[in-house]
């Protein structure tokens, strides 16, 4: 991860923040962070105390555990308020919430992973629902949104990600490279992609692309649904996601063509 241009102390601080912010876990101990990042406990302790002084980290004096501080969340809030994709996502999805009875996520591709940059969860009281925290990163191979984002790349780039990002999320394995590329090519044509329990057993999703003013895919939105509610409503979910993505893309300056 290190490069010649990185400042070592800053890099370590960023790694700590990334670790704590990309996990649903709230409270962390020094030893746990040190073990996860292969750093010395004294280094972690010093960096945490420095970040406490600037409000990026808070310490529970009773448990001696650390959590993210208000300064971190202020920056995070500012990012979402000023990111045009997130602003458009919120604007569009909030207007359509009555048609979105499930969890809807907005993804970007970064460092060969699919990152959730925003999320909306319906207020409907389902006893069975699927939600994931913002900033969660996934292998794009196992996500419908990831497949859409990969469809923006060349076959050579996809092949590299295919071999570097294989993990084990569920019992369902991804297909061979040739079959996977075929799936991506199909997604390019129809402009949607499915996840059929590759990420988690009993969980399905469908994703569609978001375009910018240069007609480039800059993000993807997906709706995540328990398999029990997914099978009979695929066409409906595709239509909803296409409407949401089209409205977001329009706000980002995308002009559809007659082929769209």
Q: What is the pLDDT of residues 5-61, one digit of tens each?
A: 889 999 999 999 989 987 778 899 999 999 999 999 999 999 999 999 999 999 999
Asked whether the beta carbons of 30 and 40 are under 8 A apart, the reply is no
The predicted pLDDT at position 221 comes to 96
Helix (H/G/I), strand (E/B), else coil: 241: helix
Asked whether the beta carbons of 60 and 27 are under 8 A apart, the reply is yes
C-alpha distances out from residue 23 to 68, 217, 249, Å = 11, 27, 30
CATH number for the domain whose boundaries are 83-251: 3.30.450.40
- What value does the mean pLDDT take over residues 95-119? 86
Asked if pLDDT for residue 210 goes beyond 60, the answer is yes
Percent of the chain surpassing pLDDT 90: 58
**Average pLDDT over the chain, rounded to whole?**
87
Which CATH architecture group holds 8-73? Orthogonal Bundle (1.10)
Asked if pLDDT for residue 256 goes beyond 80, the answer is no
The predicted pLDDT at position 2 comes to 47
Q: Domain extents for the chain?
A: 8-73, 83-251
The predicted pLDDT at position 127 comes to 52
Asked whether the beta carbons of 34 and 40 are under 8 A apart, the reply is yes
The torsion angles phi and psi of 127, rounded to 5 degrees, stand at -75, -25
Asked if pLDDT for residue 116 goes beyond 50, the answer is yes
Helix (H/G/I), strand (E/B), else coil: 163: helix
Domains 8-73 and 83-251 share a fold: no
The better pLDDT of the pair 224, 126 is held by: 224
């Amino acid at each position: 991860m290190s490069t010649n241009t990185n400042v070592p102390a800053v890099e370590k601080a960023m790694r700590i923040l990334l670790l704590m912010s990309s996990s649903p876990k709230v409270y962390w101990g020094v030893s746990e962070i040190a073990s996860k990042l292969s750093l010395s406990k004294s280094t972690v302790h010093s960096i945490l105390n420095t970040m406490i002084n600037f409000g990026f980290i808070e310490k529970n004096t009773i448990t001696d555990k650390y959590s993210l501080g208000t300064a971190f969340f202020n920056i995070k809030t500012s990012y979402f308020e000023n990111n045009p994709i997130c602003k458009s996502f919120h604007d569009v999805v909030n207007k359509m919430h009555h048609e979105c009875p499930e969890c809807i996520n907005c993804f970007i591709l970064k460092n060969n992973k699919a990152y959730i940059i925003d999320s909306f969860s319906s207020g409907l009281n389902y006893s069975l629902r699927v939600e994931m925290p913002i900033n969660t990163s996934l292998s794009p191979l196992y996500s419908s949104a990831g497949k859409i984002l990969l469809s923006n790349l060349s076959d050579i780039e996809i092949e590299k990600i295919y071999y570097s990002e294989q993990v084990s999320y569920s019992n369902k394995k991804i297909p061979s490279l040739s079959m996977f590329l075929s799936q991506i090519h199909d997604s390019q044509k129809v402009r949607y992609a499915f996840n059929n329990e590759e990420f988690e057993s009993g969980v399905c999703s469908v994703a569609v692309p978001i375009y910018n003013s240069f007609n480039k895919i800059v993000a993807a939105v997906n709706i995540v649904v328990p398999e029990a509610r997914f099978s009979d409503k695929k066409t409906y979910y595709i239509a909803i996601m296409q409407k949401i993505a089209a409205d977001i893309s329009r706000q980002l300056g995308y002009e559809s063509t007659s082929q769209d």
